[in-house]
A and B are shown apart, each in its own frame.
Chain A
Amino acid sequence: MSAALFEYTLRLGDDALIDGQRLSEWCGHGPFLEEDVGVANTALDLIGRARLLLAYAGTVEGKGRGEDDLAYTRDEREWRNVLITELPRGDFAFTTVRQFLLDAFNRQLYERLCLSLDATLAGIAGRAVKESEYHLRHTGEWVLRLGDGTRESNRRAQRALDDLWPYTAELFESDPVQEQMEAQGIAPATASLRAAWLHTVEPPLRSAQLMIPGNTWPQTGGRQGMHSEHMGFLLAEMQFVQRAYPGQAW
């Protein structure tokens, strides 16, 4: 097996799952019914994506672990998602701005992953890029409404952006796993990804009267399993049934 490919696929799968888990917390609690449907829709796509990626990670690893083994029996230090995905859902502005930043990232990432030399990842990316394109349209419209809506909504959206921006650096971090994947033509180069991402998020943020904060220091650690204190609670909730009744079929 390729340890780097396992690690890389796990990162993608964990990002999708933890983001989907957080979004699914909104189900039934959105600001209005149409949005309950909309948020659930994105969460469903992300969880579907996570299932494909984690199942593939298990195959690459070759130790017989399936999607559920990886989702339900890993402890905190073994999770590889970026920190931005695990932060509590906050208010609707926080969730929307976070999702907008991640949708824009996913949209660029999966477009490039369609050309991956790893055929399975390229296949998963083909579906993911269309979903993320759609999610981005949805959150992009919301960023405009919130940023350019009322003073209150602008204040909340700006605060969310200020809080979230330092976490975005982690999306473009490089390390030996990333370098090896790039060298093998499996993953796109992070540098070009960052430029494309900025190009995607800047114009809508500007139209929404939102200011990208300068002078922030990057908050990172997720790829090494160094998570925030929120992660343990997320896992405790998500894994509860499997932990309470180990080894059973559900």
Chain B
Amino acid sequence: MPDDYRRTLIRQISQHAHSEVVGQLPEGNWITRAPTLRRKAILLAKVQDEAGHGLYLYSAAETLGASREEMLDQLLSGKAKYASIFNYATLSWADVGAIGWLVDGAAIVNQISLCRTSYGPYARAMVRICKEESFHQRQGYEIMMTLARGSKEQRAMAQDALNRWWWPTLMMFGPHDAESYHSQQSMHWKIKRQSNDELRQKFVNQTVPQADFLGLAIPDPELEWNEERGHYHFGEIDWEEFSRVIAGKGPMSRDRLEARRRAHEEGGWVREAALAYAEKQGTRAAA
């Protein structure tokens, strides 16, 4: 395996793993406040799945010779990137719906394409993950549907969530193709199979009718069906905001990293205890 190819894969897979792990936090913020017991159970199961996705992906990266510790260090020191979308705050229950519908929806578009990626263990992790992501998206859409069919206050809550999550979701697909160095490299190695702009367009095309069905307005005055091209034309992303959040200056960037660091630091004595116990057991078995 060429060294550059291996390094690129480790970078992409570990970033993906970090995203799953940090991705537990925004929705996790609502588990204790979920408005029904059924919703609480579904949300808890979903966030648990994300932790599981993190585990499969770290394992896939480990097959390439990266250690979990190294990867974790990079996340906690702020060196490694993770999906910027998780640096936005969840302000209402509707955000849980919007994240499932839009963010998991966008993740599926990306990940379906990755099921054909050139590195086998990554592709296999993606196949497994994609199955669970579609359940995540359905539960999110179902929440949005319930709110959209609910009271005036609930509809306003749903619209507000869509307003806040729409653009950050489009940013999940990354910079325009022409500006994405990593993306071109990855396409060349067949790690990435479709370009950022292609995937973004695909997402917009499938999501606009879903918003229409909910009776919610996508916050983009330029959004319009283009008959000739057979797709939705949409407005330009605020690339300044994009760069700012990627650079770690999103509204929740500090909090997310801090939450991960705290969990890691507070867990230090637990990991030491587990290790010490295992060692004692080993000595006892040998004796």
- CB A85 to nearest CB in B, in angstroms, measures 14
Whether the pair A153, B269 counts as a contact (CB closer than 8 A) is yes
Give complex CA distance A240, B34 in Å. Answer: 9
| Chief secondary structure at chain B's binding surface | helix
CB contacts (< 8 Å) of A149 on chain B: these are 272-277
A24 in contact (CB, < 8 A): yes
Residue of B45, B259, B270, B276 touching A29 (CB-CB under 8 A):
B259
Binary B-proximity of A45-87 (CB < 8 A = 1, otherwise 0): 0011011001000000000000110011000000000000000
Q: A31-B266, A32-B267, A37-B48 are in contact. Are A238 and B32 (CB under 8 A)?
A: yes
CB contacts (< 8 Å) of B77 on chain A: these are none
Whether the pair B37, A153 counts as a contact (CB closer than 8 A) is no
Among A132-146, those with CB < 8 Å from B are 144-146
Q: A27-B48, A37-B48 are in contact. Are A245 and B153 (CB under 8 A)?
A: yes
B41 in contact (CB, < 8 A): yes
Whether the pair A40, B273 counts as a contact (CB closer than 8 A) is no
- CB B111 to nearest CB in A, in angstroms, measures 19
B108 in contact (CB, < 8 A): no
**Which of A27, A91, A152: most chain B CB closer than 10 A?**
A27
What's the interface size class on B, roughly? 35 or more
Give complex CA distance A125, B158 in Å. Answer: 39
CB contacts (< 8 Å) of A92 on chain B: these are 266-267, 270
Give complex CA distance A232, B44 in Å. Answer: 23
**A-B CB pair tally, cutoff 8 Å:** 137
Q: Which residue of A lies closest to B279 (CB)?
A: A149
Residue of A31, A40, A50 touching B44 (CB-CB under 8 A):
A40
- CB B262 to nearest CB in A, in angstroms, measures 8
Stretch binding the partner chain, chosen from B2-10, B21-29, B211-219: B21-29
Residue of B21, B45, B263, B269 touching A152 (CB-CB under 8 A):
B269
Whether the pair A156, B269 counts as a contact (CB closer than 8 A) is yes
| Chief secondary structure at chain A's binding surface | helix
Q: A33-B51, A149-B273 are in contact. Are A248 and B25 (CB under 8 A)?
A: no
CB contacts (< 8 Å) of B45 on chain A: these are 40, 44
B35 in contact (CB, < 8 A): yes
- CB B137 to nearest CB in A, in angstroms, measures 18
B251 in contact (CB, < 8 A): no
B54 in contact (CB, < 8 A): yes
B106 in contact (CB, < 8 A): no
CB contacts (< 8 Å) of B264 on chain A: these are 31
Q: A28-B24, A51-B38 are in contact. Are A37 and B55 (CB under 8 A)?
A: yes
A36 in contact (CB, < 8 A): yes
Residue of B24, B40, B143, B269 touching A150 (CB-CB under 8 A):
B269
- CB B284 to nearest CB in A, in angstroms, measures 10
Q: A27-B31, A37-B51 are in contact. Are A248 and B154 (CB under 8 A)?
A: yes
Whether the pair A27, B277 counts as a contact (CB closer than 8 A) is no
A204 in contact (CB, < 8 A): no
Q: A28-B24, A153-B269, A248-B154 are in contact. Are A34 and B41 (CB under 8 A)?
A: no
Q: A44-B48, A241-B33 are in contact. Are A250 and B39 (CB under 8 A)?
A: yes
CB contacts (< 8 Å) of B270 on chain A: these are 31-32, 35, 92, 146, 153
Q: A24-B44, A28-B259, A249-B150 are in contact. Are A148 and B36 (CB under 8 A)?
A: no
A30 in contact (CB, < 8 A): yes
Residue of A40, A51, A153, A250 touching B47 (CB-CB under 8 A):
A40
Q: Which residue of B lies closest to A243 (CB)?
A: B35
CB contacts (< 8 Å) of B259 on chain A: these are 28-29
Q: Please provide the 10 A-B residue pairs with the shortest distance between their CB atoms, ordered closest to farther.
A: A31-B267, A149-B273, A153-B273, A28-B24, A40-B48, A241-B35, A31-B270, A250-B35, A28-B28, A145-B277
**19 interchain pairs, CB-CB under 8 A:** A24-B40, A24-B44, A27-B31, A31-B264, A33-B21, A34-B55, A36-B24, A37-B52, A41-B48, A67-B37, A72-B35, A145-B273, A145-B277, A146-B270, A149-B275, A150-B273, A245-B154, A248-B154, A250-B143
